[in-house]
Amino acid sequence: MKKYITIFVWVALVICCSTKTLKAQYQIPEKLGWWYEARFGMFIHFGSYSYLGHGEWAFSIENWKKADYQEKVSSNFNPEEFDANEIVRLAKDAGMRYIVITAKHHEGFSMWDTKVKSFKDVTGKKMYNLRRFTTFGKRDVLMELKKACEANDIKFCLYYSILDWGHSSQKINHIDGSTFSSMKSDSARTAYIRDMKAQLKELIKRYHPAVLWFDGDWTRKADKPTPEKWWTKEDGIDLYNYLVKLAPDMIINERVARSFGLGDFECPEQEVPETPSNRQWETCQTMNKSWGYNENDHDYKSVKILIQELVKVVSRDGNYLLNIGPKGDGTVPVQTTDTLQKIGDWMKIYGESIYGTTRSPFKTEPDWGFYIKKEGKLYIHVFSWPKTGELTIPTLKNDIKKIYLMADSENELNYTVNNGEIKISLPEDAPNEINSVVVIDVEGLPEASE
Ligand code: FHN
């Protein structure tokens, strides 16, 4: 008998530990409140690489010499058709509530009129930025976008690359791909970090970004900097502390030095973590395969894939940052605007099942969709509509008030509650071919029965 009890206990332990155990719901720091509720944002990769139209890594992948790239690509960048109001309208209509735009990407071209002297072109004679290095003139595209965001209740945020292939302190590292840039010397490193902080202070004082989104922090756990591994965890901690002194309410991602638990949120990229994290997170995704405009990349993901990925991310308690790559003239590719329009069509009906929500209350995920919850509501996102006319979900501890289709809230659906299951009778046809939402109105925050 004892043997059977032992086996039973062992089996029970295996089963309970084999489901995706939810980590305890974490506390959201107050300054992240708006960000956590927003759930859905627009990423914009826009820089002199947009003029070339081969993506934002062209300088590296095409092995450009710095002088050639700056003369043939950057100096010709002329985004005269850039229309901040149109871009913000696209974001708003798509249901996006914040915008992160590249202020400086890896090639080091600054999108604003930086006064930090070391950010010059390869000759050392001209400042390497949109205002001073091109014929574009006096317009400040970051300020234009900031103003358009403010006029439309969208949060304005900036991306900044820590590594900088254009800066005299570094050279691009094709060999040791693990770090992508090599630092000339220890004194060059100290000077670069000083000047990078000066640039960041400029960005904060001028644009007051709601989020500073760092990238290009590739490093191993190098405790002592080396020419190839010149950015360390300590540097990341120091950078974070420097920034929060300048702007205490500004949100900063973990890529001040990733994988050390730094920053205010984790940012996996082009993937959805299998299990919820132990702190807030955001994943970023391209619409095609490129971040910066790539004239040869027509491989756009379907609207269905993007909407269903947004839902999956939110069901696992993440934010979704979907990217656009405007062309060199500043216009947005037609496939991008078309995709945003279609996402917006879905969000106009179902957006409330995304905004201000949190992860699924259940330990496991069904194979036909995802659960998302908020106070008083369980949103059942059904990707594959049941042919049986009935949807079965686990019971909740909460009292059920009513069950209905989000797209038809006037007509209540019949349901039964038995043996740990809620069975909901559904109409034959799905209200939405990509993702229909069934809503259960409950008392309080939805809680799984077990
Ligand atoms: O190298 C960058 C890349 O160009 C792009 O900016 C993405 C988006 O976050 N981040 C890095 C690749 O992981």
What does the pLDDT look like over 107-124, one tens digit per residue? 999 999 999 999 999 999
What's residue 174's pLDDT? 74
What's residue 276's pLDDT? 72
Where b means 16+ CB within 10 Å and e means fewer, 238-267 reads: ebbeebeeebeebbbbbbbbbebebbbbbb
Length of the chain: 450
Across the chain, what does the average pLDDT equal?
93
**Domain CATH for 222:** 3.20.20.80
Query: How many folded domains does the chain comprise?
Result: 2
Task: Say whether both 289 and 388 belong to one domain.
Answer: no
Q: Are strands 281-285 and 318-324 parallel, antiparallel or unpaired?
A: parallel
Residue 11 falls inside a structural domain: no
Query: Residue 160 in 3-state DSSP?
Result: strand
Q: Are strands 390-394 and 421-425 parallel, antiparallel or unpaired?
A: antiparallel
Query: Residue 12 in 3-state DSSP?
Result: helix
The pLDDT > 90 percentage for the chain reads 88
Task: Say whether both 388 and 341 belong to one domain.
Answer: no
Q: Are strands 98-104 and 181-183 parallel, antiparallel or unpaired?
A: unpaired
- Distance between CA 62 and CA 175 in Å, rounded? 14
Task: Say whether both 54 and 108 belong to one domain.
Answer: yes
Question: CA 339, 341, 345 angle in degrees (round to 5)?
Answer: 115
Task: Say whether both 227 and 337 belong to one domain.
Answer: yes
Average pLDDT over residues 71-84: 98
Average pLDDT over residues 37-58: 98
Residue 176: pLDDT band (50, 70, 90) is low
CA dist 414 to 59, 373, 380, Å?
Answer: 60, 21, 15
Task: Say whether both 322 and 432 belong to one domain.
Answer: no
Task: Say whether both 283 and 216 belong to one domain.
Answer: yes
Computed on alpha carbons and rounded to an integer, the radius of gyration of the chain in Å comes to 24
For residue 213, give the ligand 1 atom closest to its CA: 9
Determine the distance separating the centroid of ligand 1 and the alpha carbon of 437, expressed in angstroms: 33
In tens, the pLDDT along 228-264 reads 899 999 999 999 999 999 999 999 999 999 999 999 9
Looking at 320, 353, 386, the residue that finishes a domain is 353
Residue 177: pLDDT band (50, 70, 90) is low
Helices 186-207 and 233-246: angle between axes, nearest 10 degrees = 30
Residue 301 falls inside a structural domain: yes
What's residue 178's pLDDT? 65
Domain that holds residue 140: 32-353
- Distance between CA 279 and CA 264 in Å, rounded? 9
DSSP H stretches of helix in 30-140: 33-38, 49-52, 58-61, 66-72, 84-93, 130-133
Residue 443: pLDDT band (50, 70, 90) is very high
The pLDDT > 70 percentage for the chain reads 93
Residue 17 falls inside a structural domain: no
Report yes or no: 355 and 405 within 8 Å, Cβ to Cβ: no
In tens, the pLDDT along 354-381 reads 999 999 999 999 999 999 999 999 999 9
Residue 230 falls inside a structural domain: yes
Query: Residue 372 in 3-state DSSP?
Result: strand
- Distance between CA 436 and CA 346 in Å, rounded? 10
Residue 401 falls inside a structural domain: yes
Report yes or no: 40 and 95 within 8 Å, Cβ to Cβ: yes
Task: Say whether both 302 and 381 belong to one domain.
Answer: no
CA nearest ligand 1 atom 4, residue: 56
DSSP β-bridge partners for residue 405: 408, 438
Tokens of 313: 């991310």
Determine the distance separating the centroid of ligand 1 and the alpha carbon of 403, expressed in angstroms: 43
Determine the distance separating the centroid of ligand 1 and the alpha carbon of 45, expressed in angstroms: 9
Average pLDDT over residues 386-408: 97
Is a pLDDT exceeding 60 seen at residue 313? Answer: yes
- Distance between CA 94 and CA 351 in Å, rounded? 10
User: What is the signed CA dihedral for 299, 303, 307, 310, rounded to 10 degrees?
Assistant: 20
- Residue in 48, 291, 322 to alter for ligand 1 test, most ligand atoms within 8 A of Cβ: 291
Residue 13 falls inside a structural domain: no
Residue 186, phi then psi, degrees to nearest 5? -70, -35
Task: Say whether both 237 and 348 belong to one domain.
Answer: yes
What's residue 17's pLDDT? 37
Question: CA 48, 51, 57 angle in degrees (round to 5)?
Answer: 60
Residue 18 falls inside a structural domain: no
What's residue 173's pLDDT? 81
Determine the distance separating the centroid of ligand 1 and the alpha carbon of 332, expressed in angstroms: 20
Determine the distance separating the centroid of ligand 1 and the alpha carbon of 404, expressed in angstroms: 41
Task: Say whether both 342 and 380 belong to one domain.
Answer: no
Task: Say whether both 334 and 417 belong to one domain.
Answer: no
Task: Say whether both 374 and 339 belong to one domain.
Answer: no
Is a pLDDT exceeding 50 seen at residue 127? Answer: yes
Task: Say whether both 338 and 190 belong to one domain.
Answer: yes
CA nearest ligand 1 atom 7, residue: 291
Is a pLDDT exceeding 80 seen at residue 428? Answer: yes
- Distance between CA 145 and CA 232 in Å, rounded? 33
**Domain CATH for 408:** 2.60.40.1180
